[in-house]
């Protein structure tokens, strides 16, 4: 039986909640829980992702957001539902887009707007350190002092958020509880019965989708579940020989399994990080 609310980790669900004009207020409210006081968002605009044609196949759930704070400061948020393969490398790579796009022709003094890279992960990536649900990263020197405060990374490992309804304290807690459990809700919990979350539930209710949207969501959900299932299997097998090494060894196995399930090659490439040429040879 189909759930009442869609899965927010699917490309369709993520974009519907955070990547459309009609849901800007949800995005602003969520991001303001992560951003510092001096960069609380007053208004924002989306950059057209079609301009990023060289990586468009991987940018379905990545949003470049140009923001203005309540004090008039301008900055950029790069937000994505990160992929599992080499996600740290991808985070650094994608952060270069809003950097290089600020370049100006002629006499330019190289002044840059601040950039925040925010990734919501539905998997655990920590291999050698104590797992942290939230990791805030910026450039620091050998003494731990901030060297450059205009490039910040924020990673959320959603599987590590385990608070129950009676343990929610902050507004941010409520957002995380909403995102992690949305698909399993069959009604709005009392603690989330607030205007911002009511709108989120309304957007996420599957019965509110038109036929075309419903078909798009079903396709997105199948792709998400197929990829996640195969990766979970590879991860479990990899634990026997070390997570990182095991995952690497399982990538081609993942690609082969996805091909056998007739998953589109661009989805396989997006999910595994393998090139089209390598996938075609498997």
Alpha-carbon gap, residue 218 to 199, rounded angstroms:
22
Q: How many CB atoms lie within 10 A of CB 131?
A: 12
Q: What is the pLDDT of residue 54?
A: 47
Bridging pattern class, strands 62-69 and 41-46: antiparallel
Give the closest residue to 268 by CA, choosing from 232, 225, 238, 223. Answer: 223
Burial class of 43 by CB neighbour count within 10 A (0 to 12, 13 to 18, 19+): exposed
Alpha-carbon gap, residue 35 to 115, rounded angstroms:
11
Give me the residue spans of the domains in the chain.
11-210, 212-281
Q: How many CB atoms lie within 10 A of CB 128?
A: 7
Bridging pattern class, strands 74-80 and 115-121: parallel
- Tokens, residue 69: 């704070």
Beta sheet of 41-46, edge-to-edge order: 41-46, 62-69, 74-80, 115-121, 146-157, 134-140
- The per-residue pLDDT string of the chain (282 residues; one tens digit each, 9 = 90 and over) reads 578 999 999 889 999 999 899 999 999 999 999 999 999 999 999 876 544 444 444 555 577 788 999 888 888 888 877 666 677 888 888 888 888 888 888 888 999 999 999 989 888 876 667 788 999 999 999 999 999 999 999 999 999 999 999 999 999 999 999 999 999 999 999 999 999 999 999 999 999 999 999 999 998 898 888 777 766 666 666 555 555 555 555 677 777 877 877 777 877 776 676 778 888 888
Burial class of 265 by CB neighbour count within 10 A (0 to 12, 13 to 18, 19+): middle
- Burial of 7-23, coded b for 16+ CB within 10 Å and e otherwise, reads bbbbbbbbbbbbbeeeb
């Amino acid at each position: 039986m189909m759930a009442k609310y869609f899965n927010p980790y699917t490309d369709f669900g993520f974009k519907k909640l955070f990547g459309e004009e009609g849901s800007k207020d949800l995005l602003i409210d969520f991001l303001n829980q992560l951003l510092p006081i001096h960069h609380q968002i007053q208004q924002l605009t989306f950059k057209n992702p079609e301009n990023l044609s060289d990586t468009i196949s991987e940018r379905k759930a990545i949003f470049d957001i140009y923001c203005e704070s309540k004090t008039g400061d301008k900055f950029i948020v790069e937000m994505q539902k990160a992929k599992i393969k080499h996600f740290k490398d991808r985070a650094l790579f994608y952060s270069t887009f809003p950097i290089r796009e600020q370049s100006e022709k002629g006499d330019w003094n190289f002044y840059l707007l601040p950039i925040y890279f925010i990734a919501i992960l539905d998997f655990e990536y920590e291999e050698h350190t104590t797992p942290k649900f939230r990791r805030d990263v910026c450039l620091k020197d050998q003494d731990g002092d901030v060297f450059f405060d205009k490039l910040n990374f924020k990673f959320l490992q959603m599987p590590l958020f385990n608070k129950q309804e009676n343990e929610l304290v902050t507004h941010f807690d409520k957002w995380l509880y909403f995102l992690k459990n949305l698909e399993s809700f069959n009604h709005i919990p009392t603690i989330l019965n607030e205007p911002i979350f009511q709108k989120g539930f309304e957007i996420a209710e599957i019965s509110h989708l038109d036929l075309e949207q419903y078909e798009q969501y079903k396709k997105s959900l199948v792709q998400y579940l197929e990829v996640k299932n195969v990766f979970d299997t590879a991860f479990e097998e990899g634990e026997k020989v070390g997570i990182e090494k095991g995952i690497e060894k399982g990538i081609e196995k993942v690609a082969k399994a996805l091909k056998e399930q007739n998953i589109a090659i661009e989805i396989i490439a997006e999910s595994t990080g393998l090139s089209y040429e390598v996938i075609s040879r498997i």
